[in-house]
Amino acid sequence: MSEWLKIHTERSLNRVLSRLEELFSGNAEAFTIFEKRLKKEWKRLFNILLNLYGSHYDFFYHLEMLILSAAKSWIERPSSLKELDAIREADPLWFQSEKNIGAVLYVDLFSDSISNLHEHITYFRELGLTYLHLMPLYLVPRGDNDGGYAVSSYRAVNPMIGTMDDIAELSSILRKEGISLVLDFVINHTSDEHEWAIKAKEGDIFYQEFYHIFPDRTLPDQYENNLRDIFPSVRKGSFTWHEGIGKWVWTTFNSFQWDLNYFNPEVFRAMSEELLFLANRGVEVLRLDAVPFIWKRLGTNCENQPEAHMIIQAYNAIARIAAPSLLFKSEAIVHPDEVIKYIAPYECQLSYNPLLMALLWESLATREVRLIEYAMRKRHRIPDECSWVNYLRCHDDIGWTFDDEDARHINIDPIGHRKFLNDFYTGQFPGSFARGLPFQFDPDSGDQRISGTLASLAGLEQGLQRKDPLLIEIAIKRIIMLRSIVLSIGGIPLIYLGEEWGILNDYTYFSDSSKAKDSRWIHRTKTKWDDYSKIHDPARIEMRIFNELVRLINIRKKLSAFQDGGMEIFSTENPHLLGYVRQNGGQRVMVVSNFSEHPQTLSENRFRMHGLGYSFYDHITDKTYTAGQGLYLDSYQFFWLETAK
Ligand code: OTU
Q: For ligand 1, atom 18, name the residue with the nearest CA.
A: 396
- As a whole-number percent, the residues of the chain with pLDDT over 90 amount to 92
Ligand 1 atom with the shortest distance to the CA of 230? 13
**Contact between residue 417 and residue 407 where contact means Cβ atoms under 8 Å apart:** yes
The CB of 333 under 6 Å from ligand 1? The reply is: yes
Identify the CA nearest to 439 among candidates 254, 147, 231: 231
Q: CA nearest 597: which of 496, 439, 430, 458? A: 458
Residue 474 · residue 463 · CB < 8 Å: yes
Task: Categorize the per-residue pLDDT at 645 as very low, low, confident or very high, splitting at 50, 70 and 90.
Answer: low
Q: What is the pLDDT of residue 125?
A: 97
Residue whose C-alpha is closest to residue 225's, from 297, 294, 299, 302: 299
CB 260 near ligand 1, within 6 Å = no
Tell me, what's the pLDDT at 536? 81
For residue 103, name the pLDDT band (cuts at 50, 70, 90).
Answer: very high
* Of 35-39, 488-492, 537-541, 546-550, minimum mean pLDDT range: 537-541
Q: Binning pLDDT at 50, 70 and 90, where does residue 530 land? A: confident
Known catalytic residues?
289, 331
Do 210 and 260 contact (CB within 8 A), yes or no? yes
Confidence of residue 614 (pLDDT cuts 50, 70, 90): confident
Contact between 308 and 260 under an 8 Å Cβ cutoff? The reply is: no
Stretch 68-73: mean pLDDT, rounded? Answer: 97
pLDDT single digits (tens) 119-139: 999 999 999 999 999 999 999
Q: How far is the CA of 29 from the centre of ligand 1 (A)?
A: 42
The predicted model gives 217-244 an average pLDDT of 93
pLDDT of residue 579: 98
Ligand 1 atom nearest residue 449's Cα: 14
Average pLDDT for the chain: 96
What is the pLDDT at residue 1? 65
Mean local confidence (pLDDT), 199-214: 98
Gap between the Cα atoms of 124 and 118, Å rounded: 10
Q: Is the CB of 184 under 6 A from ligand 1?
A: no
Distance between CA atoms of 482 and 373, rounded to whole angstroms? 15
Q: Stretch 326-332: mean pLDDT, rounded?
A: 98
Query: Range with the lowest mean pLDDT among 8-22, 115-129, 268-282, 542-556?
Result: 8-22
C-alpha 337 – ligand 1 centre gap (Å): 18
From ligand 1's centre to the CA of 289, what distance in Å?
7
| SS3 label, residue 116 | helix
Write the residue with the smallest CA distance to atom 1 of ligand 1: 290
Orientation of helix 3-20 relative to helix 59-76, angle to 10°: 50
Q: Does the Cβ of 290 fall within 6 Å of ligand 1? A: yes
Q: Is 302 in the pocket of ligand 1 (CB under 6 A)?
A: no
Is the CB of 146 within 6 Å of ligand 1? Answer: yes
> pLDDT tens digit string along 626-644?
988 899 999 999 999 998 7
Q: Supply the residue whose CA is at minimum distance from atom 5 of ligand 1.
A: 396
